[in-house]
């Protein structure tokens, strides 16, 4: 990757974030906890960091209930420069903004401005729960972040602050065309809450999604998420059942009634939606997939179809035509790489960085290879056979500079994939030039 492109990605990662001011408040320190309370604090902190997975968020929640003594201990763990926040893990970071503790909040802003901080998404979410009036620009900055969850937190923060509403509306109207469905839904819901009920139409379109990614029912997930937001705002789900096909008899009628209600509330005018916000369906013939999820570098969902098409994203995925024979050649290489992995299918340990390669065999059966790690770098994590496959896959990815007429899902796609791969299983070899 060229230094210029790398710089752009880093700049995007920090886009709009202002340097954090100290923001610490002068306050009387809380009284030291007694021995029993101190033991409880340590126990909950430990459980929230390393306990069994379902226990972690509950332990973090108990810390919030303990209030000031817990905040004081977490502040101590965070350290003066906030470096200790990294080691707290996702679930503790997720609640730090709920303490009424300005010093913790200042450290969170400081850490979230660092593109290499692994917990930027949970940090942004927790900051958005209790936004301060002075942080308005920072939340606008969030809405331009490369990480979808940070952009979504920006929407939530702006909505709660409810300052400069007209400016917020203009920005959220842009986010209705965001590459991430989570961001689009959040923006549409907030626009409705700000007196623009026509944007509920965006959510109603999500109810029509049936797309899957190698069996992962992203369309169904979107239907459930959209239905919840619609019901909260319309007071009724009109009998729509998210687990059923959108075109089932009951759902078709329900969707008609629901849209009728939206139309009535919005005075008959509905927004024009960009192509990426329209409903997508399943595709036949996907034979090779690369799914990247990095806590620092974001998410990418890539599918190569036997019709020599590359699909990028979920929902109505972006479509890239490839030269004839490209996918057959990639598939041969991917099957050889799979065979070279023997019976191994998993490398690493559970964490927020994940690469998944999916390969259709000659019999059509799908093989999934999973590489996973936590926030720390792990040398030589990716097996050599997959390392060898990556340059050929990367070569097929477009890499256009962002700008008018460029689908945001395709802008700098190759660079973003290289960046994500580097953050997860290690830097791949450069895409082949031949």
Nearest to 67 by CA among 106, 118, 27: 27
For 48, half-sphere exposure in the C-beta direction (CA atoms, 13 angstrom radius) is: 27
| Chosen residue from 286, 291, 308, 407 binding another protein by CB under 8 A | 291
Q: What region, left, alpha or beta, does residue 2 occupy, with left being phi > 0 and alpha being psi -120 to 50 degrees? A: beta
Q: Is 369 a residue that touches another protein (CB under 8 A)?
A: yes
Binding mask 9-48 for another protein (x = CB under 8 A): --------------------------------------x-
**Alpha-carbon gap, residue 17 to 133, rounded angstroms:** 16
- Of 171, 174, 160, give the one whose Cα is nearest residue 129: 160
**Stretch touching another protein by CB under 8 A, among 71-79, 168-176, 240-248, 266-274:** 240-248
Out of 215, 267, 268, 405, which residue is the one contacting another protein (CB under 8 A)? 215
Q: Indicate the Cα dihedral angle 331, 1, 422, 16, nearest 10°.
A: -120
Q: Is 433 in the site for another protein (CB under 8 A)?
A: no
- Alpha carbon distance 318, 398 (integer Å): 11
Pick the closer one to another protein by CB: 39 or 400.
Answer: 39
Is 376 near another protein (CB under 8 A)? no
What are the phi and psi torsion angles at 300 (to 5°)?
Answer: -140, 135
Using the rule CB under 8 A, give the single segment among 324-332, 345-353, 389-397, 398-406 that binds another protein: 345-353
Binding to another protein by CB under 8 A, coded x per residue (else -) over 52-71, reads xxxxxxxx------------
Residue 220 binds another protein, judged by CB under 8 A? yes
Whether the CB-CB separation of 334 and 359 falls below 8 Å is answered with: yes
Select the span of 12-20, 27-35, 315-323, 336-344 touching another protein (CB under 8 A).
336-344
As measured in angstroms, the least distance from the Cβ of 293 to another protein is: 6
In the block, residue with structure tokens 């007429």: 405
Smallest separation, CB 139 to another protein (Å)? 22
First to last CA, the chain: 17
Assess 242 for contact with another protein (CB under 8 A).
yes
Using a 10 angstrom Cβ sphere, with 0-12 exposed, 13-18 middle and 19 or more buried, the burial of residue 271 is middle
* Closer CB to another protein, 367 or 399, in the complex: 367
Q: How far apart are CA 294 and CA 292, in angstroms?
A: 6
**Does 286 interact with another protein (rule: CB under 8 A)?**
no
426 near another protein, rule: CB under 8 A: no
Binding residue (CB under 8 A) for another protein from 50, 79, 80, 224: 224
Give 242 or 412: the residue with its C-beta nearer to another protein: 242
Does residue 240 come out as left (phi exceeding 0), alpha (psi in the -120 to 50 range) or beta?
A: beta
Strands 353-360 and 286-294: antiparallel
Q: Which of 204, 221, 314, 375 binds another protein (CB under 8 A)?
A: 221
Would you tell me how many other CB atoms lie within 10 Å of the CB of residue 58? 14
- Burial of residue 260 (number of CB atoms within 10 Å: 0-12, 13-18, 19+): exposed
Question: Residue 326, interface with another protein (CB under 8 A)?
Answer: no
Q: Does 375 bind another protein (CB under 8 A)?
A: no
Nearer to another protein, 135 or 145 (CB): 145
66-125: which residues touch another protein (CB under 8 A)?
90-91
Q: Are 123 and 112 in contact (CB under 8 A)?
A: yes
Among 5, 49, 144, 241, the residue binding another protein under the rule CB under 8 A is 241
Binding interface with another protein (CB under 8 A): 47, 51-59, 90-91, 215-217, 220-221, 223-225, 228, 241-243, 291, 293, 342-352, 354, 356, 366-370, 372, 378, 380-381
């Amino acid at each position: 990757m060229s230094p210029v492109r790398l710089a752009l990605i880093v700049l995007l990662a920090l886009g709009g974030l202002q340097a954090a001011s100290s923001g610490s408040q002068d306050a009387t320190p809380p009284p030291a906890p007694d021995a029993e309370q101190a033991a409880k604090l340590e126990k909950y902190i430990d459980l929230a960091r390393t306990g069994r997975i379902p226990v972690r968020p509950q332990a973090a929640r108990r810390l919030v209930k303990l209030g000031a003594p817990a905040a004081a201990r977490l502040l101590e763990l965070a350290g003066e420069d906030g470096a200790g926040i990294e080691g707290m893990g996702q679930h503790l970071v997720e609640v730090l903004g709920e303490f009424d503790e300005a010093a913790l909040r200042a450290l969170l802003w400081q850490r979230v401005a660092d593109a290499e901080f692994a917990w930027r998404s949970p940090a942004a979410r927790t900051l958005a729960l209790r936004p301060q009036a002075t942080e308005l620009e920072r939340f606008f900055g969030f809405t331009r972040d490369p990480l979808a969850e940070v952009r979504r937190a920006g929407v939530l923060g702006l909505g709660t602050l409810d300052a400069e509403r007209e400016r917020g509306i203009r920005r959220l109207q842009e986010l209705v065309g965001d590459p991430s469905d989570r961001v689009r839904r959040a923006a549409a819901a907030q626009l409705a809450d700000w007196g623009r009920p026509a944007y509920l139409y965006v959510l109603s379109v999500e109810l029509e999604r049936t797309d899957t990614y190698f069996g992962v029912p992203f369309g169904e997930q979107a239907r459930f998420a959209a239905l919840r937001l619609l019901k909260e705002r319309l007071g009724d789900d009109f009998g729509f059942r998210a687990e059923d096909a959108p075109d089932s008899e009951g759902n078709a009628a329900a969707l008609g009634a629901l849209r009728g209600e939206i139309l009535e509330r919005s005075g008959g005018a509905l927004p024009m939606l960009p192509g990426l916000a329209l409903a997508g369906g399943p595709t036949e013939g996907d034979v090779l997939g690369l799914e990247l999820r990095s806590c620092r570098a974001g998410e990418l969902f890539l599918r190569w179809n036997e019709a020599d098409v590359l699909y990028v994203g979920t929902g109505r995925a972006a479509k890239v035509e490839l030269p004839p024979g490209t996918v057959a050649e990639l598939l041969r290489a991917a099957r050889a790489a799979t065979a070279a992995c023997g019976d191994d299918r998993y490398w690493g340990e559970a964490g927020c960085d994940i690469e998944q390669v999916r390969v259709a065999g000659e019999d059509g059966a799908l093989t999934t290879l999973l590489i996973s790690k936590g926030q720390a770098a792990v040398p030589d994590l990716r097996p050599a056979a997959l390392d060898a496959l990556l340059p050929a896959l990367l070569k097929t990815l477009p890499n256009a500079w962002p700008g008018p007429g460029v689908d945001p899902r395709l802008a700098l796609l190759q660079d973003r994939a290289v960046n994500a791969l580097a953050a997860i299983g290690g830097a791949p070899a450069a895409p082949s030039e031949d």
